[in-house]
């Protein structure tokens, strides 16, 4: 297969780059291995590429990087990055997951399942924080910060003392309370054996009573929204007139006085993904962990209806000019000491400008 020499060559280059001593052995082995590929499709994965993506950590500690973090530092990082959803003490906010508590509750009605009460392996917490958190800004934490956060979560569950330091070296010594609480799927014996039987067709029971009704609870979402949508579409003309560009070009006159650089705003839409977990914009935007941001450029500070602002934000006062917004988005805690917004800030000036441009596109 003519693709194979290319494979061997690139694998070889990779090996030589990373470790010259490795090159000779690798050349022979890789060429032989890649020559055996049934289709010869794809290319060798380079070591740096594997290192960048292969981040998962297993219960026996496989995959953990070198590092450490103590409870106190972990608390700071946690409050900065995690507390907005999970609470200052990992107790959870709103519908977001509680990470602490629930000890001994698993056999109760409505058990509270947290890292402390339910999770069998500490590796799962480290791995998840490292790869998937914070929500909306994943993979932004250093290994030491992750060790610190996990140490703080252990502390919040009363599983370690406040002087505890978690590291790759003592990691597997930590055994979580529910480590032995899991069995492998036993449905084959406990259920299938019983329910693989000829079903009853007649006289299966004497009486049937209704014991529960969904309407009593009344938690089903209503469907009126879609009827409004239908009404809206009915107002649209069925026949579209032949293309006349004039009306479309006049349309910008109807938008607010603020001139918008659409290309920049488009870029800002992408940057705004970092903010979306907490801030909503657009039609029907509601407050979440953070206030809704419609009309934020030019809006009075701390003025979203129903949002509970920090005292620091209220004291900041005045109006959100583009300049003040830029300063706040770049370094939230430097601009407003005591703000509840647990976001480290946008490092690039371009990103700050883009996201402000994007926010301008949402009027009140």
In the range 235-254, which residues lie near another protein by CB under 8 A? Answer: 238-240
Q: Counting contacts by CB under 8 A, is residue 43 touching another protein?
A: yes
Smallest distance, another protein to C-beta of residue 298, A = 27
Q: Counting contacts by CB under 8 A, is residue 186 touching another protein?
A: yes
DSSP at 58:
-
Which segment (209-217, 310-318, 329-337, 340-348) binds another protein by CB under 8 A? Answer: 209-217
Using CB under 8 A as the binding criterion, the count of chain residues that bind another protein stands at: 95
| Nearest alpha carbon to residue 336 among 345, 75, 291 | 345
Which value, in Å, is the radius of gyration of the alpha carbons in the chain?
Answer: 29
**Per CB under 8 A, which of residues 91..120 are in contact with another protein?**
94-96, 106-107, 109-111, 113, 115, 118-120
Instruction: Label residue 334 exposed, middle or buried (CB < 10 Å: 0-12, 13-18, 19+).
Output: exposed
Evaluate the omega torsion of the peptide bond into residue 134 and state whether it is cis, within 30 degrees of 0.
yes
Of the residues 21, 53, 249, 250, which one makes contact with another protein according to CB under 8 A: 53
Residue linked to tokens 């700071």: 76
- 332-to-221, 325, 359 alpha-carbon distances in Å: 38, 9, 17
* 49/162 with CB nearer another protein: 49
| Nearest alpha carbon to residue 87 among 227, 235, 289 | 289
Q: Counting contacts by CB under 8 A, is residue 319 touching another protein?
A: no
Of the residues 185, 250, 283, 305, which one makes contact with another protein according to CB under 8 A: 185
Smallest distance, another protein to C-beta of residue 349, A = 24
Question: How far out from the chain centre does Cα 35 lie?
Answer: 41
Of the residues 277, 301, 312, 344, which one makes contact with another protein according to CB under 8 A: 277
Smallest distance, another protein to C-beta of residue 318, A = 30
**Per CB under 8 A, which of residues 74..93 are in contact with another protein?**
85
Bridge partners of residue 300, in order along the sequence: 319
Instruction: Give the span between the Cα atoms of 326 and 350, in whole angstroms.
Output: 10
| Nearest alpha carbon to residue 268 among 362, 161, 164 | 362
Q: Counting contacts by CB under 8 A, is residue 207 touching another protein?
A: yes
Q: Counting contacts by CB under 8 A, is residue 6 touching another protein?
A: no
* 61/322 with CB nearer another protein: 61
- 53-to-12, 168, 329 alpha-carbon distances in Å: 21, 19, 30
Mark 117-156 with x for binding to another protein (rule: CB under 8 A) and - for no binding.
-xxxx-xx--xx--xx--xx-xx-----------------
Smallest distance, another protein to C-beta of residue 284, A = 12
Q: Counting contacts by CB under 8 A, is residue 220 touching another protein?
A: yes
Q: Counting contacts by CB under 8 A, is residue 282 touching another protein?
A: no
| Nearest alpha carbon to residue 115 among 80, 169, 78 | 78
Residue linked to tokens 């959803």: 85
Of the residues 205, 305, 306, 323, which one makes contact with another protein according to CB under 8 A: 205
């Amino acid at each position: 297969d003519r693709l194979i020499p290319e494979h061997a060559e690139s694998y070889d280059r990779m090996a030589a780059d990373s470790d010259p001593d490795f090159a000779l052995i690798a050349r022979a082995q890789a060429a032989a291995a890649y020559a055996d590929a049934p289709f010869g499709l794809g290319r060798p994965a380079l070591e740096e590429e594997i290192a960048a993506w292969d981040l998962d950590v297993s219960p026996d500690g496989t995959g953990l990087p070198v590092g450490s973090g103590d409870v106190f530092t972990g608390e700071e990082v946690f409050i900065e990055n995690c507390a907005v959803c999970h609470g200052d003490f990992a107790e959870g906010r709103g519908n977001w997951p509680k990470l602490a508590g629930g000890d001994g509750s698993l056999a109760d009605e409505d058990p509270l399942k947290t890292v402390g009460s339910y999770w069998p392996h500490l590796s799962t917490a480290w791995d998840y924080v490292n790869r998937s958190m914070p929500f909306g800004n994943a993979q932004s934490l250093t290994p030491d910060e992750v060790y610190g956060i996990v140490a703080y979560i252990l502390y919040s569950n009363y599983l370690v003392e406040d002087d505890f330091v978690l590291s790759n070296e003592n990691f597997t010594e930590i055994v979580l309370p529910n480590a032995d609480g899991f069995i492998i799927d036993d449905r084959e014996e406990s259920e299938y054996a019983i329910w693989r039987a000829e079903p009853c067709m007649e006289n299966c029971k004497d009486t049937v009573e209704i014991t529960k009704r969904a309407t009593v609870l009344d938690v089903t979402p209503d469907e009126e929204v879609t009827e409004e949508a239908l009404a809206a579409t009915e107002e649209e003309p069925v026949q579209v007139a032949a293309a006349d560009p004039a009306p479309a070009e006049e349309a910008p006159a109807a938008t607010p006085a603020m001139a918008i650089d659409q290309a920049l705003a488009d870029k800002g839409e992408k940057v705004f993904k970092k903010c979306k977990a907490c801030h909503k914009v657009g039609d029907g935007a509601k407050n979440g962990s953070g206030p809704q941001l419609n009309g934020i450029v030019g809006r009075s500070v701390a003025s979203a209806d129903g949002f509970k602002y920090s005292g620091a934000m209220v004291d900041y006062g005045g109006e959100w000019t583009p300049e003040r917004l830029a300063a706040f988005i770049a370094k939230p805690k430097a601009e407003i000491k005591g703000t509840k917004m647990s976001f480290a800030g946008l490092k690039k000036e371009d990103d700050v400008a883009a996201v402000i441009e994007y926010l301008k596109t949402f009027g009140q």
